[in-house]
Amino acid sequence: MSRDLEHQLNPEQWEAVRHGEGPQLVLAGAGTGKTRVITHRVAWLIAERGVEPWRIAGVTFTNKAATEMRERVEKLLGGSTEVFLGTFHRFALRLLRRYGERVGLPRGFAILDTSDQLAVMKRALEAAQLDDSVFAPRAVLSRVSSAKNRLLGPAELERESSGFFEQGVVRAYSSYQRLLRESGGADFDDLIALAVRLLEQEEELGERMRRRLRYLLVDEFQDTNHAQLRLIETLAGRGGNLTAVGDEDQGIYRWRGAELDNILEFERHFPGAVVRKLERNYRSTQTILDASGHLVSHNVSRRGKKLWTETTGGDPVRVYRARDEADEARWIVRTLRGAHDALSYRQMAVLMRTNSQTRVLEEELMRHQVPYHLVAGTRFYERAEVKDVVAYLRVVRTPQDNLSLRRILNTPPRGIGKATQNTLFQEADELGHSLWDVLRLERFGGLSPRAANALRGFRDLVLELRSCSAELDLGELVERILERTGYEALYRKDDDEARARLENLRELVSAAQEFAEDYGEGHPAFLSASAPPSSPEARSAQGSLLAPSAAQTAAGAAVAVPARALPGSEDPESGDAPASRGPLAALDDSGEVEEDDPLTSFLDYVSLVSDTDALAADRGVSLMTLHAAKGLEFALVCVAGLEDGLIPHFNSVSEDEVEEERRLLYVGMTRARQRLMLSSCQRRRVAGRYQDQHPSPFLDELPAELLEVEDGTVPAIAPAASGVYTYFGRAPHTSSAPRGEPPDWLRRDGPPRTPRPAAAPEGLAADLPLERGQGVRHPTLGSGVILDVEGSGENAKLTVFFERGGKRRLIAKYAGLRPR
Ligand code: ATP
Ligand code: MG
């Protein structure tokens, strides 16, 4: 094994893999095998050093990256492993599911997503009597988030806040935390912050954890924020066995509080750390490396490095200037189809700055039946109807989950109006109990018999679902919810919207079913971190959706939250922890291990799938945001929408922010193994109106001799001009000229450039009859004839045949046509 591993690595990588005790940082550029060092080190520790898998944890940022990591490790080991390989949030959640009560979290606590957070923040502002037109909920939330990422509670934040707005934020923060506590929920940032608090506050637990978890490996270290760094510090200890790998040129989460200093000052945080470099890139061609390296060299805050590859040369980077997004989509899809001879669609990706750029591209892909999947942007679990049903599941699991209960109380409508709800909320407030307790105890005083009946009906429904949850599998439970709540009936209507909603709900049934099947096999889907249930008791409990303790009380209404005993003492050094559980479960070998039940696991999965995760299996071309592409690689990559305002994004104003955008593009470009394409539009429709777009200034930072530029805004009049010219002031490389020497006609002092055609004037010419057979003239496409007219007036859709451009579909008011 050792020889095998060594053979798959270069000497520098091998050194890092068999690094002994103490911290090390592998600081190296994209594609140099940093993730490979992590996976090989995990395999080496297990296979060569005999380290028990539960003593090792590999942590990264996205579920997709974690899944890939697991696949790579399991391939090396030749079978599945119980090493923890997951995200930071997953790690923290596993810890809190077991010990959360020690930091004030109720059992079965819910995790809020962004829209839940917004709803709670709005209530928090109201409670703190702050005007939400001054204190915009989103803005306040982002302040709260950054405070949490720095591990500052409201009191600590207050100490550094002055002025009206900042003081208001502090008040909102503390009222938000109070509401969260009352509803028994935690937001995403809390997961990390509370895990840190738990380990620091419970010294004995922290100590045991450090002894148990002997090897900690962290990928993409450049994107850690302060809270994550502290979590790593508490887990590894200052001189601990931490292997961190990262690249300061790929730090793209500063807006979420990531601190590049964590990597730039690694030796200060972990004294005695060995810092290693890797310089050979195994991923990309020299051209791609040179182009991306040249771009990122414009950044000031970096350590700087050199990369080389044996894959010399390579195709030039193709750059396309499109007329608009439809033209861009056509070019991209045409190019992808052209490349399909040599590459499968799975090896191709289109990366974008924002989610909203995908729609037009998706349509074009569908038109040509090119398979694709969206890695970001589906946000399946954020759709209202899906969230509703997930809220039912949460209430079935934990009826005290106020937040979810509020959501479904009158959804679908069942006669529990606003006034009734308010009475219920007040009653809960006065009693200091959960809403569920008020329902259970029937504290309906002051309500009309009708309202009280409606509430009883709802309570009985929840009880019924809870009791049948013990017999049904996950998919069946979701189906039962749809049926018993009336969702099925509600959306079984003949309109598109209702149909789409019903389809989403059916998709949820499939997702739950799939999850349950994988869970039964001990491989919870997407949950690389979740150790399979292994004890005979746990296996026999699998039939039930709830953990035994919860299932027993499922039929009864009283679900008191039992105070959990502290785990008994154990000898941390004995190494006799159950061999078949992850490092966190192993902590519990005092006999009170509580295996996650499938329902809790599923709900955790739903909470943790971030926008970087695909719901669909990897099929065809991957469409995703640049952020989501971190750590991945594809044979062919197209970065679309390279326009000023998109990248750098118009929100990025300061030099630091622009540097972060540059790194983001660098991340995108370095995903490519063989071919790289960059496209931008001359105009783009924003909120329904066309807007002129300038090329991204980053294009100007690429070495012109490595590019092959094509301009779709120039009509292809004669093959000689072929629409290729430089639009950002420097001469591109073309395949017909030797590298570095652009053809004469493209030299700056050569013949004048093809003038850029004027943008098509907007509006429909008053003197243009919209009729079949009418001759027209287009500012760039020249003369043509109308073949078909759909609708009338300026919104009419026209099919026009142009002598130069062939058949085109245009909207009359945007087409800029004149009669001929
Ligand atoms: P990124 O910065 O983008 O996360 P990385 O440094 O983590 O990149 P990897 O993803 O580990 O790089 O490796 C990049 C590619 O190079 C992968 O396809 C990997 O399998 C390959 N690779 C890395 N090291 C070697 C090696 N020694 N021999 C052969 N292939 C290698
Ligand atoms: Mg990597």
Q: Model confidence at 687, in pLDDT bands (50, 70, 90)?
A: low
Degrees to nearest 5, angle at CA 211 with 210 and 216: 55
Nearest to 713, CA basis, from 322, 202, 218: 322
- CA 24 and chain centroid, separation: 28
Of 93-102, 114-123, 351-360, 402-411, the least confident: 351-360
C-alpha separations of 376 from 62, 358, 611, 613, 627 in Å: 12, 9, 5, 6, 9
What is the distance in A from the centroid of ligand 1 to the CA of 712? Answer: 36
Q: Which of 136-140, 361-365, 652-656 has the lowest mean pLDDT?
A: 652-656
In single-letter form, the type of residue at position 266 comes to F
Q: List the residue whose alpha carbon is closest to atom 4 of ligand 1.
A: 631
For ligand 1, the distance from its centroid to the CA atom of residue 33, given in whole angstroms, is 3
Q: Which residues, in sequence order, are CB contacts of 275 under 8 Å at separation 6+? A: 24, 25, 27, 266, 267
In order of 316, 452, 649, 673, the CA distances from 702 in angstroms are 12, 69, 18, 18
The residue from 24, 35, 62, 423 that is catalytic is: 35
Kindly give the number of the ligand 1 atom that is closest to the alpha carbon of 30: 2
Q: Which ligand is located closest to the Cα atom of residue 32?
A: 1
Q: What pLDDT, on a 0 to 100 scale, did the predictor assign at position 281?
A: 93
pLDDT confidence of residue 696: 94
User: Tokens 């972990």 belong to which residue?
Assistant: 270
Higher pLDDT, 706 or 807: 706
Q: What is the pLDDT of residue 763?
A: 65
Q: Which has the minimum average pLDDT: 444-453, 735-744, 787-796? A: 735-744
To test the ligand 1 pocket, which listed residue (17, 27, 35, 634) has its Cβ within 8 A of the most ligand atoms? Answer: 35
What's the confidence (pLDDT) of residue 815? 74
Active-site annotation holds for 671:
yes
Q: Which protein residue has the closest C-alpha to ligand 1 atom 8?
A: 31
**Per-residue pLDDT reduced to its tens digit, 158-216:** 999 888 999 999 999 999 999 998 888 899 999 999 999 999 999 999 999 998 999 99
Judged against a pLDDT cut of 50, whether residue 689 lies above it is answered with: yes
pLDDT at 494 over 80: no
From 36, 148, 671, 675, active-site residue: 671
Q: Residue 440 has what pLDDT?
A: 92
Burial 534-567, CB ≥16 within 10 A → b, else e: beeebeebbebbbbeebbeebeebebeeeeeeeb
**Which residues does 728 contact at the CB level (< 8 Å), separation at least 6?**
695, 699, 700
As a whole number, mean pLDDT of residues 496-516 equals: 79
The whole-number average pLDDT for the span 77-102 is 90
Cα dihedral 721→727→728→733 (10° resolution): -30
Closest CA to 676 of 335, 318, 336: 318
pLDDT of res. 490: 83
Q: By alpha-carbon position, which residue is closest to atom 15 of ligand 1?
A: 283
Looking at the CA of 39, name the nearest ligand: 1
Over the stretch 648-676, which tens digit does the pLDDT of each residue have?
988 887 888 899 999 999 999 999 999 99
| Residue 485 a catalytic site member | no
- Residue 366 identity: M
pLDDT at 233: 93
Q: Tell me the range of 175-189, 193-207, 682-696, 757-771 where mean pLDDT is highest.
A: 193-207
d(CA 430, CA 488): 37
Phi, psi (rounded to 5 degrees) for 271: -60, 145
pLDDT at 170: 96
How many CB atoms lie under 10 A from the CB of residue 309? 20
Q: How confident is the model at residue 311 (pLDDT cuts 50, 70, 90)?
A: confident
Judged against a pLDDT cut of 90, whether residue 714 lies above it is answered with no
What is the 35 CA–ligand 2 centroid distance (Å)?
4
Residue pair 629/351 in contact (Cβ under 8 Å)? The answer is: yes
Measured in Å, residue 17 CA sits from the centre of ligand 1 at 14
For the cut 60, the answer to whether the pLDDT of residue 154 exceeds it is yes
Residue nearest (by alpha carbon) to ligand 1 atom 26: 9
Whether the model pTM is above 0.75 = no
- Nearest-ligand number for the alpha carbon of 11: 1
Probe residue for ligand 1, chosen from 243, 282, 663 as the CB with the greatest number of ligand atoms within 8 Å: 282
- Shortest-distance ligand to the CA of residue 66: 2
Tell me whether residue 250 is one of the annotated catalytic residues. Answer: yes
Ligand 1 atom with the smallest distance to the CA of 671 is 3
pLDDT digits (tens, 9 = 90+) for 274-299: 999 998 999 999 999 999 999 999 98
As a whole-number percent, the residues of the chain with pLDDT over 90 amount to 47
Marked catalytic residue, from 113, 190, 219, 518: 219
Ligand 2 center–CA 609 separation, angstroms: 20
Please give the number of the atom of ligand 1 that sits closest to the Cα of 247: 2
Q: How far, in Å, from the CA of 626 to the mean position of ligand 2?
A: 15
Catalytic residue, candidates 39, 67, 117, 250: 250
**3-state SS record for 239-281:** CCCEEEEECHHHCCCHHHCECCHHHHCHHHHCCCCEEEEECEC
pLDDT > 70 fraction of the chain, expressed in percent and rounded? 80
Query: What is the spatial distance between Cα 737 and Cα 706, in angstroms, rounded to a whole number?
Result: 12
One-letter amino acid for residue 719 of the chain: P
Residue pLDDT, tens place only, 238-264: 778 999 999 989 999 887 778 888 888
What pLDDT was estimated at residue 380? 66
Closest ligand 1 atom to Cα of 250: 2
The pairing of beta strand 372-374 with beta strand 621-625: parallel
Residue 130 pLDDT? 95
Q: Which protein residue's CA is at the shortest distance from atom 23 of ligand 1? A: 33
Q: Where are the alpha helices (DSSP H) in 128-163?
A: 137-149, 154-159
The rounded Å distance from CA 349 to ligand 2 centre is: 17
Question: In this predicted structure, what is the pLDDT of residue 182?
Answer: 85
The atom number, within ligand 1, closest to the CA of 632 reads: 3
User: 379 pLDDT band (50/70/90 cuts)?
Assistant: low
Residue 729 binned pLDDT confidence (cut-offs 50, 70, 90)? very low
Closest by Cα among 342, 432, 396, 331 to 710: 331
Of 339-343, 657-661, 674-678, 791-795, minimum mean pLDDT range: 791-795
Distance 34 CA to ligand 1 centre (A): 6
Q: Mean pLDDT, to the nearest integer, of 136-149?
A: 93
Reduce the secondary structure of 736-781 to three states and give it as a string: CCCCCCCCHHHCCCCCCCCCCCCCCCCCCCCCCCCCCCCEEEECCC
Residue 533, pLDDT score: 31
List Cβ neighbours of 354 (8 Å cut-off, separation of 6 or more).
625, 641, 646, 649
Distance 683 CA to ligand 1 centre (A): 38
Determine the distance separating the centroid of ligand 2 and the alpha carbon of 60, expressed in angstroms. 9
DSSP 200-229: HHSHHHHHHHHHH--EEEESSGGG-BHHHH
CA distance 768 to 352: 38
Residue having the nearest C-alpha atom to atom 30 of ligand 1: 282
Most confident of 25-39, 370-384, 785-799: 25-39
Q: Which atom of ligand 1 is nearest to the CA of 32?
A: 6
- 360 pLDDT more than 80: yes
Q: Which of 45, 72, 385, 47 is nearest to 213 (CA)?
A: 45
**Residue 501 DSSP label:** H
Predicted confidence at residue 106, as pLDDT, reads 87
Most ligand 1 atoms within 8 A of CB, residue of 36, 351, 630 to mutate = 36
Mutate to test the pocket of ligand 1, among 283, 626, 663 (most ligand atoms within 8 A of CB): 283
- Which atom in ligand 1 lies closest to the alpha carbon of residue 37? 11
Asked which of 106-120, 189-203, 413-427 is least confident by mean pLDDT, the reply is: 106-120
Cβ-contact 633, 292 below 8 angstroms: no
Q: What is the pLDDT of residues 548-585, one digit of tens each?
A: 333 333 333 332 322 222 223 333 333 333 333 444 44
**Options 82, 189, 220, 427, the catalytic residue:** 220
pLDDT for 748:
31
Whether the predicted pLDDT of 391 surpasses 70:
yes
Ligand in closest contact with the CA of 250: 1
Residue type, 356: S
Residue closest via CA to ligand 1's atom 9 equals 33
Tell which atom from ligand 1 comes closest to the C-alpha of 670: 3
Q: 34 C-alpha to center of ligand 2: Å?
A: 5
Ligand at shortest distance from the CA of 33 = 1
Beta-carbon-side half-sphere exposure of residue 266 (alpha carbons within 13 Å): 26
Residue 679's CB is within 10 A of a number of other CB atoms, namely 25
Q: Ligand 1: which atom is nearest the Cα of residue 36?
A: 11
Query: What does the mean pLDDT of the chain come to?
Result: 80
Residue 820 binned pLDDT confidence (cut-offs 50, 70, 90): confident
Q: Residue 351: which pLDDT band, with cuts at 50, 70 and 90?
A: very high
Identify the pLDDT of residue 127: 93
pLDDT-derived band of residue 691, with 50, 70 and 90 as boundaries? confident
What is the pLDDT, as a whole number, of residue 558? 30
pLDDT band at 543 (very low <50, low <70, confident <90, very high): very low
Q: Is the pLDDT confidence value at 528 over 80?
A: no
Q: Active site includes 35? A: yes
Closest C-alpha to ligand 1, atom 31 = 282
Amino acid 334: pLDDT: 97
Q: Residues near ligand 1 with C-beta < 6 Å? A: 8-10, 13, 30-36, 247, 250, 282-283, 631, 633, 670
Tokens for 131, please give them: 């005007």
Nearest residue to 396 via CA among 471, 495, 488, 446: 471
